[in-house]
Chains A and B, each alone.
Chain A
């Protein structure tokens, strides 16, 4: 991988296909080298790995996007008679790649974070395999490149803060770093953003320069590699650099910091042009300060708007929903009118709740038994419900248990968050007259 950089830099006018084929071959060679290295602790990780076959399934499914052709490509780099890899390969081979129910947005949804992170965490071979597979796929479909590197980037960005949720192995962070580094390098190669890994190495070598206590010259190393074991970290010294423990430990620490600063760069807007720790730290502090000030302002605003701190969510968001969704749910108006008369004398929240339930049942097209029950409950025992807060909490609790809550919240988030700042005038609705 490292040998490829100067060549690729020179051949800048190669076509994308050629450019991708060149690193692919080197990656295959490198893959074999890596597999040899990882064979020793693969046996250790095998136990964990077997638990994660389903996760690998998901990852491969998400990344390979349903192409069974790639299944062969994935398998070929592994055609090596290593006994340590036998079981791993068989596990990979048993994966039903053809039947991918895992959606493309596996990276985006919450539950798959742990899955993806588990893969990065537990074994370093599949990410390398995946990188090769990703590279081969790039040969086929360039259009998907940006999506996948984005997914990889977002997965990498998310694994950093989701890592605490699945922290089983001792070397989790170090493995994840290395894998993400390798994947990042491969992905960047694929997209011909070669400067990324180069600047990474050059910047870390510059940092080394600043902090060397012994007299040596630092050169760009061609065989920089990091090998992890569960007990302790092997760090190979770069060519021509200090090998004493302190500088090695310092270098590890510095690289950790710079890795995380890169994630921060993606997160904080406007940080892309800034290089160097001090400037980025400045941006980060100003961003955090602005966010905190926004929270203060918004809480003040909310306190001013609400004299009694009674946020009837249902009321509020139902109005927003109705305001924006009246066109999509034309029958709701009728139903709401039907439901309206019996409740005219009661708390408006009840009406809203019941009608919203009805609307949910209609508009979402989902079979929800609980809204019907709640509707009946509100019909049957309107007088026994004393105050709105109880209903709020009960409905909240009930909605929390049903899937409708999430769907509706998604809906209203799409509505609310996308329409921030826009004041949509309310069309005349049945509720405006009854709001107390």
Chain B
């Protein structure tokens, strides 16, 4: 499914806004610095397209905000716009990580205490197959959690929803970046 062109346009707008900050700065950046700047502004731009409604977008914005250097804070402010920035940062800083972390930790403790009793008394083969399947699924969910920004704080259902949204946004991001790269290449041809 193609990401809607409105999403791509919004991403492009915000990304260019963010990049303008770097173009006006006087210092010459190395290629790695440039790449980091590009990626950071792209991430914050695509996250701001969701306006703080999804967990992964808040996590991305938090990443952009907490990096060292006052530059990045201003970048986030610029991209988000002053009024939405206040709202989103409120959500990010107060709502998010600490509460979710505690919740996850307490859930894990509860599971560990109750889960010991929960094994079924069935024939060994059946129990083995199902537990293998469960273990596989759990492992892969863990991997997926590590990929999605802010994934450690979500339960299973939310994780899949966030993955859906994240995939669409990533696709939009890749589309726009690819077209910009090809256009730049064509433009830089002698």
Where the two chains meet, the residues of A that have a C-beta atom closer than 8 Å to any C-beta of B are 108, 110, 154, 157-158, 160-161, 164-165, 210, 213, 253, 256-257, 260-261, 263-264, 266-268, 277-278, 281-282, 284-285, 287-289, 291-292, 294-296, 298-306, 308-311, 313, 315-317, 319-320, 323, 389, 392-393, 396, 400, 405-406, 409-410, 413, 416-417, 420-421, 423-424, 426
Contacts and interface: CB of A to CB of B under 8 A. Distances in A.
A420 B136 CA distance: 38
A319 B186 contact: yes
Interface in B97-128: 118, 120
A18 to B, nearest CB: 33
Q: Chain B, interface size: which category?
A: 35 or more
Give the residue among A256, A311, A423 with the most B Cβ atoms within 10 A: A311
B87 interface: no
Question: Which 9 residue pairs spanning A and B have beta carbons closest together?
Answer: A303-B34, A416-B179, A281-B140, A303-B35, A298-B177, A316-B183, A291-B170, A260-B160, A299-B39
A281 B180 contact: no
Given A291-B174, A309-B29, 17 more contacts: A158-B1, A257-B157, A285-B144, A287-B167, A289-B147, A291-B167, A295-B42, A295-B170, A295-B174, A298-B181, A303-B35, A310-B23, A311-B16, A320-B186, A416-B182, A421-B182, A424-B186
A203 to B, nearest CB: 13
A420 B170 contact: no
Contact of A263 (B42, B147, B157, B164): B164
B71 to A, nearest CB: 13
A264 to B, nearest CB: 6
Contacts of B180: 302, 311, 316
Nearest to A424: B186
B157 A420 contact: no
B15 to A, nearest CB: 9
B184 interface: yes
Given A292-B147, A309-B29, A319-B187, A278 B54 contact: no
B63 interface: no
B137 interface: yes
Contacts of A303: 31-32, 34-35, 37-38
B57 to A, nearest CB: 10
Contacts of A282: 140
28 contacts: A160-B164, A161-B161, A210-B133, A263-B164, A264-B167, A267-B167, A278-B136, A278-B137, A278-B140, A288-B144, A288-B166, A296-B39, A298-B177, A298-B181, A302-B184, A303-B34, A309-B38, A310-B23, A311-B180, A315-B187, A320-B183, A392-B16, A392-B20, A417-B179, A420-B178, A420-B182, A421-B182, A426-B189
B187 A316 contact: yes
B23 A154 contact: no
B55 to A, nearest CB: 10
Contacts of A256: 157
A305 B184 contact: yes
Interface of B: 1, 4-6, 8-9, 12-13, 16-17, 19-20, 22-24, 29, 31-32, 34-35, 37-39, 42, 53-54, 118, 120, 130, 133, 136-137, 140-141, 143-144, 147-148, 156-157, 160-161, 163-168, 170-171, 173-175, 177-189
B53 A299 contact: no
Contacts of B183: 316-317, 319-320, 416
Most buried by B among A110, A299, A308: A299
B148 to A, nearest CB: 7
Given A309-B37, A393-B20, A413-B5, A213 B118 contact: yes
Contact of B9 (A285, A287, A316, A406): A406
Nearest to A154: B1
B144 A267 contact: no
B14 to A, nearest CB: 11
A409 B42 contact: no
A316 B184 contact: yes
A158 B157 CA distance: 17
B167 A288 contact: yes
Nearest to A396: B16
Contacts of B167: 264, 267-268, 284, 287-288, 291
Given A110-B6, A260-B157, A396-B13, A161 B168 contact: yes
A289 B163 CA distance: 12
A299 B144 contact: no
A150 B33 CA distance: 44
B39 to A, nearest CB: 4
Given A278-B133, A416-B179, A285 B171 contact: no
